């Protein structure tokens, strides 16, 4: 298992643990996703749900970069605490940043789907050319000169 695969597995396990420990804040249904409260990382660290700060960082980074989460922020849905209570509104600058990030994702998806490899017809085989009297490189000869003996 490569190092990257191991990290992905740890991140997946951390997300599953967060969904099990805090089902209101990390719902499995994409339509129910709401923005998390600010400074929620400290509360998760205090709970001991995820063993490593780095793994928690990666899991939260992945959760907060999913299109459903960004859409929830851009729409201005109220923030949520880990226990499911409201934590206040989303700031307008956060809404603008999420909308810009979503636009980048959509543009990237559009570029990827727009790239189509055209079907190129097979080129006809070139006709043999008569020799012009010039020397031809032979692959039977060595490409380098032999070393001189002193």
pLDDT the model gives residue 117: 54
Kindly report the pTM of this predicted structure.
0.69
- Domain count across the chain: 1
pLDDT the model gives residue 150: 65
Residue 20, domain member (yes or no): yes
Residue 92, domain member (yes or no): yes
Residue 134, domain member (yes or no): no
Residue 117, domain member (yes or no): no
CATH of the domain at 19: 1.10.1710.10
Q: What is the 3-state secondary structure (H, E, C) of the chain?
A: CCHHHHHHHHHHHHHHHHHHHCCCCCCCCHHHCCCECCCHHHHHHHHCCCCCHHHHHHHHHHHHCCHHHHHHHHHCCCEECCCCCEEECCCHHHHHHHHHHHHHHHHHHHHHHHCCCCCCCCCCCCCCCCCCCCCCCCCCCCCCCCCCCC
Residue 150, domain member (yes or no): no
Averages of pLDDT over each 10 residues, the chain, 150 residues: 90 92 91 92 89 91 93 94 92 94 88 62 65 61 67
Domain enclosing residue 78, as ranges: 8-111
Residue 107, domain member (yes or no): yes
Residue 12, domain member (yes or no): yes
Residue 133, domain member (yes or no): no
């Amino acid at each position: 298992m490569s190092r990257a695969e191991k990290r992905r597995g740890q991140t997946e396990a951390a997300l599953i643990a967060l969904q099990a420990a805090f089902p209101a804040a990390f719902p499995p249904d994409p339509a129910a996703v709401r923005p998390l409260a600010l400074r929620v990382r400290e509360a998760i660290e205090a709970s001991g749900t995820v063993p490593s700060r780095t793994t928690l960082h990666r899991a939260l980074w992945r959760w907060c970069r999913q299109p459903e989460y960004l859409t929830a922020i851009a729409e201005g849905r109220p923030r949520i605490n880990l226990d499911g209570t409201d934590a206040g509104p989303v700031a307008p600058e956060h809404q603008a940043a999420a909308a810009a990030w979503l636009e980048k994702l959509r543009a990237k998806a559009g570029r990827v789907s727009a790239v189509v490899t055209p079907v190129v017809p097979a080129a006809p085989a070139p006709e043999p050319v008569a020799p012009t009297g010039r020397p031809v490189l032979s692959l039977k000869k060595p490409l380098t000169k032999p070393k001189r003996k002193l």
